[in-house]
Structure 1
């Protein structure tokens, strides 16, 4: 069998999310916790306007989730600690030789490299749980990887980062050849575009060490949306310039150079912890729409909507305030995971 990860723009059966639960990620005050619950709920309601959504909820949060989400969102209970569904859940794949077959790649998850602060052992089981609920064949993988660490065009191209899949805290004995062989087996990748690094803040204690889904994405084969920090005062100014130069030399599975489209960062450079990694690249695509990150910058948010609307023709772009999500270590793409539709 040959598994293939479809592009995010392919039709979806549904989107999966995980509801926050109390712990270090959510926050240590009531105000912070309420802010986190509200942010995840806002994204869920935005997605549910376009397609079915299933929310995995820890039993300790079941009553709150039902109250906040309402009746239009499916709730399933399972033990969890981390709730970044893109990373802890499965990566869904299809088999073009077996129409109607859905697979779920169950990556090995160790909390983004097993940092001391991370609580991840419960959520490490969500790949199998969600895959089973979806009726998918489980595709087990010993590769420590997260859904936010890859982006595909559905035609064999995958974007990934040297500091993620080759991170010795994740895959101690990995090299590019081994990673590429496993991605060929699990998601059908044939062309591998390695980014040398990610954004600066992503290397903090609570970062992912360079997830690609905050840096670049592939809205269609041959096209790339790339985070562009336009202020020389931000360390990501040089990072994004260097990445653009590197990616301009890359080729996709069809041998094409990429048309690179800059997606400029908002004007804000810092928050209370230092330089921000606010990025419009971290949007999620749904049936007929795009759920975009908003950062309270009306001009930049509007510009991002325009670029996204052009990159995804025929889809309605909806902005949701993503600042509370970024404060906790990620964005809208990081908390969602699409399940592709398959022929019945």
Structure 2
């Protein structure tokens, strides 16, 4: 009996490899250098810890409880890399509840906690991974980011990583703004990558050419619709639609015509239906529920089930004390990630600062975190 593996139409057979260890079956991934998918085997995940000098100061205990819950789940099965200006304070908070054997610390001054956007984006490049350090400027200079923008370089210089360093600080790019399938396709949103105060001197064609060159990808799928009220990121793709194994996209679907998001998310769904894989096939689309409206005073908060985190054994997803929606989101993610555990973490604290679970984490491929 033989096995037939279909490769994307573009690209030579030497550009691809089969990963038999993948829990979703034999997966074809690009040969080095390539941008791995989030479900590629990981060495661990970064959290940048909230402290009194961040915007969390007025609700510090509440948000640290949420971070501790995230830390506990991650450290059950892989390394956790915690960045904080006061390591001993963090140890006091988590030591009784987290598997400390799997925790690594790096002491560093920080502005905030959004590791997805100030953390390194890792390329698989031969035997040594490569950390791409892009500029983080507070989502278009909305917030202070000078300290956070130095974390990756300082951690590399402190020898926290088994990886090479690639200075890309001349280009603004946040991890939450892109999704990779590990096969040469990148998913992003035009409203973010073309937003003011990021890379204003470049147009859409020039930005796509840059992404193709740096990440060695073959196509960029641009979402032109979709947003969440209260979002500071200019519509990061990880709040709206996520690439999943086996040519699947999990996306937020709004079914309430009276919801302010209904029209835009309907247009997003229509565009997702037009997207094709490199083989020219449509994606399998799995709709995630739209979270019921949550407000902080009069402001609607950007609660989304698309902001889930993929770990080696588990998909961690945000919950919002909405039993019906929380349960439905878990069902959808179980379908998208067969064989993985699905675990919910109450992230109502995180959305008070306009982010969620995926936003405060950054994964690193196998071998990177020491």
> Are 2:283 and 1:255 aligned?
no
1:45 counterpart residue number: 72
Structure 1: distance between partners of 2:359 and 2:317: 12
TM-score (norm. length: structure 2)? 0.84
SS across alignment from 2:131? strand
TM-score (norm. length: structure 1)? 0.91
Q: Which runs of 5 or more structure 1 residues have no equivalent in the other structure?
A: none
Alpha-carbon offset, residue 130 of structure 1: 3.9
> Are 2:363 and 1:338 aligned?
yes
Pick the aligned partner of 1:77 from 91, 97, 107.
Answer: 107
> Are 2:139 and 1:112 aligned?
yes
1:214 counterpart residue number: 239
Q: Is the alpha carbon distance of 1:234 and 1:106 closer, same or farther for their aligned partners in structure 2, counting shifts above 3 Å?
A: same
2:218 counterpart residue number: 190
Alpha-carbon offset, residue 202 of structure 1: 4.6
Q: Which runs of 5 or more structure 2 residues have no equivalent in the other structure?
A: 1-30
1:201 counterpart residue number: 229
Structure 1: distance between partners of 2:246 and 2:270: 19
Q: From the CA coordinates, give the structure whose radius of gyration is larger.
A: 2
SS across alignment from 1:170? coil
1:283 counterpart residue number: 308
Structure 2: distance between partners of 1:266 and 1:162: 24
> Are 2:338 and 1:308 aligned?
no
Pick the aligned partner of 2:129 from 102, 108, 115.
Answer: 102
1:159 counterpart residue number: 187
SS across alignment from 1:10? coil
Structure 2: distance between partners of 1:185 and 1:140: 15
Q: Is the 8 A contact 1:2 1:188 kept in 2?
A: no
Structure 1: distance between partners of 2:94 and 2:114: 17
2:43 counterpart residue number: 13
Output one character per residue of 1:103-125: Cα deviation in whole Å (capped at 9) or x when no partner: 1111111110002xx12100101
Residue range with higher mean Cα deviation, 49-58 or 259-268: 259-268
Structure 2: distance between partners of 1:176 and 1:170: 12
Q: Is the alpha carbon distance of 1:4 and 1:107 closer, same or farther for their aligned partners in structure 2, counting shifts above 3 Å?
A: same
Structure 2: distance between partners of 1:76 and 1:332: 21
Q: Is the alpha carbon distance of 1:131 and 1:221 closer, same or farther for their aligned partners in structure 2, counting shifts above 3 Å?
A: farther
Q: Is the alpha carbon distance of 1:231 and 1:276 closer, same or farther for their aligned partners in structure 2, counting shifts above 3 Å?
A: farther
Number of residue pairs the alignment of both structures matches: 331
Alpha-carbon offset, residue 342 of structure 1: 4.8
Q: Is the alpha carbon distance of 1:126 and 1:255 closer, same or farther for their aligned partners in structure 2, counting shifts above 3 Å?
A: farther
Q: Is the 8 A contact 1:82 1:88 kept in 2?
A: no
SS across alignment from 2:335? helix
Structure 2: distance between partners of 1:24 and 1:293: 22
